[in-house]
Structure 1
Amino acid sequence: MEEHFYALDMFEELERTLAGIAEAMPIKRKAIDIYMQKGQKQRAKDTYSELEAEKKKLLDTVMNLSLLFSECEMADSADFANRLYASVKQFNLITPDYAKLISAVEMLCSNIPKNEKVNARVVGHLMNEIRMGYYPTDTEHIKMIKSSLVFPENQVNILDPCCGEGLALETLASGVNADSFGIEIDKARRTEADNRINHVGYGSYFYSRIGQDSFHCIFLNPPYLNKIEKDGIKTRSEKRFLVESLHHLMPDGVLIYVIPYYRLTFDICRILCDNFRDISVYRFLDDEFSKFSQIAVLGIKKERDDGSDEAEVLSQYATHQECIPLISKLKQESYPLPDIRKDVDLFRGAEFNLGELKRQLARSRSIEMLFEKSKLEQMVHRPLMPLNLGQIGLIGGSGLINGYVDCDEPHVIKGRVIKELKCRENKDLGTLTETRVNKMIFNVLTPDGVKRLA
């Protein structure tokens, strides 16, 4: 599995897409006129449908570029992309001259980082104040999020699939009846997390083993910068974290999903709206928002259904962050956690964790059962039939009858196997054959002395 900067990869892909669209749209527009002149109305109609598809593709590409510019804090470029998006949306495809449209698209392309020097500047921004895409959530914001949760009397299980140093999970679980579980790949951060939360799994979340429907709440603040390649498919890491963590959350469990506002794209919103109800979005306070542009998305898990209409509305926040309410306006006790007692039967990180193994064994009867003698083992065993000479030899050789024998004539017996040399002479051939064989002997210590039985 390889990890790269998503923004830089996508800049290259979207630039190629824009170039293809800018070339195709004028050609298709001219083709419509030619078909109409020849009276081929059906072909003209089909070509117009293709032109509409190109326009939609252009809109999607411009929107994606706007979000990438926002991620890299290229504010002027993001603003230009937003204005171009609005113009393209109103553009009449029947317009005979596409020169101004193509010129605007080319101007947008010129704003895309294209060389190593520019890319280095963008990477420098992306890596500022972070490590491995690590954006720790401010504890004051966690406290505001926690105030919106209603904790039942029964113990609840809270999972953080990328827990970092465990500060967020510790804050959520503090002072309530909660069992905290976290996964962390970074060695230094997971050492800190061990001191803050109940259970820490080591290694990649994607190779960990965690029970289904086991958690009342999932706090998910995934890394944002990388894409993960699996079977040749490129997936934004925060999207894959979201998809793969869904099955850990029990029905009516609460998801807390922290991402930058510009990553609230339609595909992310579709996953959220298909699987959650009562979704609300709040942006972090200004000082914290200026650092990482983070928002918190909260929702209650439901049976999966079609949430495409709701996703269309929710995705508007990605380009209108000024419309997102502040997290200080989050209503208190608005998200009740399920009042269901549930044990987490399976929680193992991808790497060996001695501390977690000790906790698992303390809860298990496996070790106790391993050393516990069964009733059958404690019974005195008697053979079903008297032993024959061969069986006695095998038992003696194995050492099972060694030791003190309490009987009318008490004695101590010790059996062992020795090597014995046997010779056989063949007078007809004039040969002598020597053969080494195993021989069982017993030494018996009695009050009268030592006897040897062979």
Structure 2
Amino acid sequence: MALMFPRLARNFARNGYYPTDEITLERTLQALTPSSTGRMRIFDPCAGEGVALAETAHALGRDRVEAYAVEYNRERADHCRALLDRVLHSDLMDTIVTRQAFGLLWLNPPYGDLVADHSGASQYQGKGRQRLEKAFYQRALPLLQYGGVLVFIVPHYVLDDELCGWLCNHFTELRIYTAADPTFRQVVIFGIRVRRQDLARPREVAQVREYLQAIGAGVQNAETLPTTWPWEPYAVLPASTDLEHFYRVTLEPEQFNQEVKRLRGLWPDFTLHFGQSGVQPRPPVRELSRWHLALALAAGAISGVVKSKSGRVLVLKGDTYKDKVRKTEFTEDQDGNVSEVRILTDRFVPIIRAWDMTPGSPNRGCVLTISSTADTPPEPEIPVPETAPVPTYAAPFEPGRLLLTQAVQYLVENRSINLALYLDRHLAGDWGEISDDDRSSNQRALKTGERLLSGYDIDAEGETRLWILTEANRCATTILLPSDY
């Protein structure tokens, strides 16, 4: 059952890899006992080479245990797959796993301080010292079923007031011991997850918390793991729910390559995607306003060589791409249940590039860029193609930038709605199906510069309504559904 040669242990530690030593693993397994019936499901969110979880599965009865793991390092993940049932080569924070799906959580997380990403976001949700051990604890705790067993292996100095409070609020029958190998100053913590209302008396909880804090501060030393477990073993309960989700969110290049091979290419039917590329585009059914022209340019519907009325020649290429801002939040209710919420916010960024090819122009060869980003240069004049002259459209107000919510964008992409029809009505002062009070407010807002709101029923039954909202400063007009507000 040896994990590695002892002389290699420190090399692993320098690379941020702290596997459980052989003696500590042997003594820890004596504290665990299998359930009398049913199949057990155990999990290690940072499994290393998978030896610790594999030995745990054998100790509990390999034919009755399903062992799941996540490992960030590719070589160690490949080694895990030879020992365990299912292994994800991934960062734990980049996975979707069913909550309360495991009867045992073996948590020996990476050690060290957290570093925020390039946008300043952090995986840690708390007020104490930001540590990797805490971030992994927060992420892995909801995956353990109530009544499930925790084996938590961390350096003793990580046990600050915050982490000790979490442990005492989430677990009962807490016991802490010093690891058999003192190299990494580790402690092994055992506990059974319970709801907060099922905790022991407050005084007993306070005493356990003070004891953990004293060990974390180095004021008191925990006993070394006993060679023979003197207490009643912790029973690993059978799985109480189905494991519906166990997958990685993003793909590494190698995994993407495997998926492409499995699908036999990105587009198995090439003509389905590119069969219409040679079709001559049809002219618009009506003359384009300046707003329509800008929208068509940003969408890439108008590209190539265009000429303005002044004789300016530009080579145009427009596009709109969707950027996602990702955020993860952890909350804890009064019962001690930790909830994880992943928020993906869409951000639509239009960008138009124009290559000035006007004969004799001093700017010949220069590239102009028009975008909605913060560092956008002053917006140049938008050229008008000869095939799409600009009509004189007298709108009672300036609409500003056009913004669409994700729900409206979906309707547009599926050709379920013609936005131009409703936007023209909004710009012309036809406010649609709104109340008399809102209609009066809009008429007053045309003079006072307040916000404008239109509402249009977009189906025959009147069950689906579209809102168009122009901001008070006329910087933007947003098209949305009432459910997006």
TM-score (norm. length: structure 2): 0.44
TM-score (norm. length: structure 1): 0.46
Structure with the bigger percentage of helix: 1
**Greater RCO (Cα-Cα under 8 Å, separation 6 or more):** 1
